[in-house]
Structure 1
Amino acid sequence: MSAAVDHERLLGVPVEVGTDYLPHGSWAAFDPAVMCAEQLDPWRRWRDERPGSMFAYGIPPLVDGCAGAFERGVRGEFDAAYARAARALVESGHGDAIVRLGWEPNNRAIGPWQATDDPAGYAALFRQVVGVFRAAPGAAFTFELSSALGVQPGRRLRCFADYYPGDEYVDRLGMNAYDLKWGDPHVSAADRWAWIRTQEMGLDAHVAFTRSRGKRNVCSEWGLYRRGDAFAGGGDDADFIDRMAEYFAWGDVDYQAYFDHDWGGGTLAEFPEGRAAYIRRFGAPTGG
C-alpha cells in the first residue's frame, strides 16, 4: 500500500486501482486476522481516501506443497481456506474487490497452480473457487483471469481457450507484459515489441480472445526489465513505455498497473529515460 502512495507522488495524480497478492507459502496465509492486519485494512484506509478507487487482489488457488492438486481442490478440500479469504475481503470493506485468481497460469515459474500440463484442471479449480467466493455473505466480487505472454514449449497448454473457465466465471481477462524477449538479448526495441505483440499467446492474440469472449481487457502487471540476465530485458527502454501506452488505447484496456517492485526486473528508479517517458504518458498534465 505504501508503494502505491509513493507511485502517486511520482505521477502527481491519484492511483485508481491498488493491487496486492495473498502469499502462497501455505494455507496459514488464508487467516482473516493476518490478512486484514497486514494487507486489507491498510488498503481499506487507502481506498477511503480515494473515493471510487478499486482493489485487485491476487488469490492463489493452490499453495506451496500442493502443486497441481486441482482434483483435490475441485473436491472441496481447500474450500474452507477460500471461504476465509472471501470473508476477510468482505469484512475489511473489499466486498467489491477484483479477485485476480491464479495469475499467470501459463507461466511455470509462478506458483503451484500452473496450467501448462493440466489446463482443464486449472479451469475446473478456477470455477470451484469462484463458487466459494460468490457464496460469501456480502460478496460482490468480480473475477480476473490474467495470463503471461507466450507459450512454453513442450507443454500441453497451447492457447488461452485451453484453460478458460467459461464466460460465467470470468469478468476480466488480463495480460502481464514485460519488456523482454527470452534468450535474445541483442534484439532491437522494435523487434522485441513486434515479438511481444505477435508471438503465440502474445498481446494481439490476447486482445482477439478477450473481444471474442466479450470481456474487459486489463493489464494488472507491466513494466521495463533490466538487461543482463536470461530474460533478456530491454533495460532503459522508453519506446516500450510509449508502445504500452498506445496498447492501452487500441486494446481498450480497462485498467493497468505498472509493477514498480523489484522481483528481478528492476524498478523505474533504475531506468531514467523510461521513467521520464512513464511520467510523461501517465502523470499529471504539465499545462501549456
Structure 2
Amino acid sequence: MSRRGRRLVRACASTVAAGLLVAGCSHAARPREGSGGSAGSEVAVGAYLHYGSPGVERMQEFSRWLGGTELRAGHTYLPGDTWENIEGAPDSLRTWAQWRKARADRLFVLNVPMLERNEAGVPDGRVAELIRAGARGEYDLHFRRLAERLVGLGVPDTVIVLGWEMNGFNYTHRCRPDPENWKRYWRRIVGAMRSVKGQRFRFDFAPNRGGDAIAWTSCYPGDDVVDVVGMDSYDQPPGDDFDEQVHQPYGLQQQVDFAKAHRKRISYPEWGLFRNGDNPEYVRRMLAWIAEHEPLYHSITDYCPHGVWQCGENPRSAQVFREFLSPRR
C-alpha cells in the first residue's frame, strides 16, 4: 500500500525493515478444486522483520518467541530505486539463498518492483510512458539479469511478487495510468524471466484489498503468466470491521473466489494492524480466515504500528498470534 511504499523507501535507504516468513505449526492444506495444492502441503506463515541479512538472523529469535515453530520460508524485497538493485544487486540475496538451500522444503519469496524510482512520486503521465516502454520490451534485459542472478544463486524456484499493490495510487509500477499496457508489460517481464535456462519461478499477483485507485481485476494479466493470486490486507479502511473487509467489492472473499475460478493458489504477502490499535479480534479473525482458505503463505508486518513481536504496543494481539501459531496448538 502507499504507506508500505513510503516505509520501504526509508528501509532500503537505511538498510532497515525487511521480511521473512515462517512455517511450522501450520495448517495442513487439503487439496481443493482450483487451489493448485497437493496433499501434505502446508501454509507458510511469517512476519516482516528486517531488510537484508538481519532478517535471516532473526529467524531463530522469532521461532523461539513462537515456542519453537519451524521456519520454512523467507521473504524480502528488492529496492526499487535503481535498475541495478532491481536486477538483484543487494548482496543480502546471497544470505537468503544460502538459507533457502539449507533445506529442501523451504520457500523463498521476493517482491520485485517493475520500474526504477518506484517510490519517487512519479506523476501519472510519466508512469504511463514508462509502462508503454516496458510493454515494448525496453526493460526486458533487467529482468533477465535478475532471473540469471537468482538461478546462479541456486534459488530458481523463487516466488516472485511482481509489481505488488499495483491497484494503488503511489508506486511507479501502479496500473491505473495505463491498465492495458501494464498487463502487456507484466507479460513481457514474465516472458523475459522464464526465458532463462533452469528457472522454475512462480509469479504472485498481489493487489491491495479493496477498490483503491482501480479495480485490481482490471490489472490481471492472464492465467498463463500468474501462478498465485495474493492480497495485501491491513486492519484499516476500506472496511470498518473484518466482515466488511471480507465482503466489500474486491475484498477477501472476491480474492478467494477469483483465485478459485482461475485455478490459482492464494497468498497474503502483507497483513497486520494499522488504524485500530491493539485489535486481537482482527488478528483472530484473520488467522481463522487464513486457516480456512489455506494460502501458499502469509506474512504479518511485524514492526510498529503493525506488529505482534517487535511492537510492544499490541500485547493482546501478540498473545492471540502467538497462541494460534504455537506448535502446542
The root-mean-square deviation of aligned C-alpha atoms, in Å, is: 1.9
Match of 1:243 in 2: 285
Quote the offset at 1:54 in angstroms: 0.5
Task: Work out which of the residue numbers 148, 162, 168 in structure 2 matches 1:87.
Answer: 148
Which runs of 5 or more structure 2 residues have no equivalent in the other structure? 1-52
Q: Post-superposition shift, 1:266?
A: 3.5
Q: Which runs of 5+ in 1 are unaligned?
A: 185-190, 226-232
1:193 equivalent among 226, 236, 242 = 242
Q: Distance in 2 between matches of 1:15 and 1:121?
A: 39
Deviations 1:9-42 (Å, cap 9, x if unpaired)? 322212222111111111121355x33x2x2111
- Show CA shifts across 1:215-251 (max 9, x none): 00111111112xxxxxxx1211111111111111332
2:217 maps to 1:161: yes
TM-score by length of 2: 0.75
Alignment deviations for residues 134-172 of structure 1 (CA, whole Å, 9 cap, x no partner): 0112111111101111113xx5x33x3311111110110
Contact 1:216 1:254 in 2 (8 A): yes
Is this contact kept in 2: 1:97–1:142, CA < 8 A? yes
Contact kept in structure 2, 1:16 and 1:54, CA below 8 Å: yes
Q: d(CA) in 1 for partners of 2:322 and 2:94?
A: 29
Asked if 1:267 corresponds to 2:307, the answer is: yes
What's the counterpart of residue 65 of structure 2?
A: 10
Cα distance in 1, alignment partners of residues 93 and 185 from structure 2 = 24
Counterpart residue number, 1:285: 328
Matches within 5 A, 1:181-220: 181=237, 191-220=240-269
User: In 2 relative to 1, CA 199–117 (structure 1 residues): closer, same or farther, beyond 3 Å?
Assistant: farther
> Larger RCO: Structure 1 or Structure 2 (Cα < 8 Å, ≥ 6 residues apart)?
2
Structure 2 Cα separation of the partners of residues 210 and 273 of structure 1 = 32
Task: Report 1:27-42 matches (<5 A).
Answer: 27-32=83-88, 34-35=89-90, 37=91, 39-42=92-95
Identity %: 28
Structure 1 pair 15–119 and aligned structure 2 pair: CA distance change class (3 A): farther
Equivalent in the alignment of 1:78: 139
* Cα distance in 1 for residues equivalent to 2:218 and 2:136: 21
Alpha-carbon separation, structure 2, partners of 1:244 and 1:15: 20
Letter of the 1:2 partner, please give it: P
Partner of residue 226, structure 2: 170
Hey, what does 1:229 align to over in structure 2? Answer: none
Report the Cα distance in structure 2 between the residues aligned to 1:241 and 1:50, rounded to whole angstroms: 30
In structure 2, do the counterparts of structure 1 residues 2 and 14 end up closer, same or farther at CA, with 3 Å as the change threshold? farther
Partner of 2:38: none
Contact 2:144 2:192 in 1 (8 A): yes
Q: Distance in 2 between matches of 1:49 and 1:236?
A: 36
Q: CA offsets, 1:94-136, max 9 Å, x none?
A: 1000011100111113x20111232222211110100000011
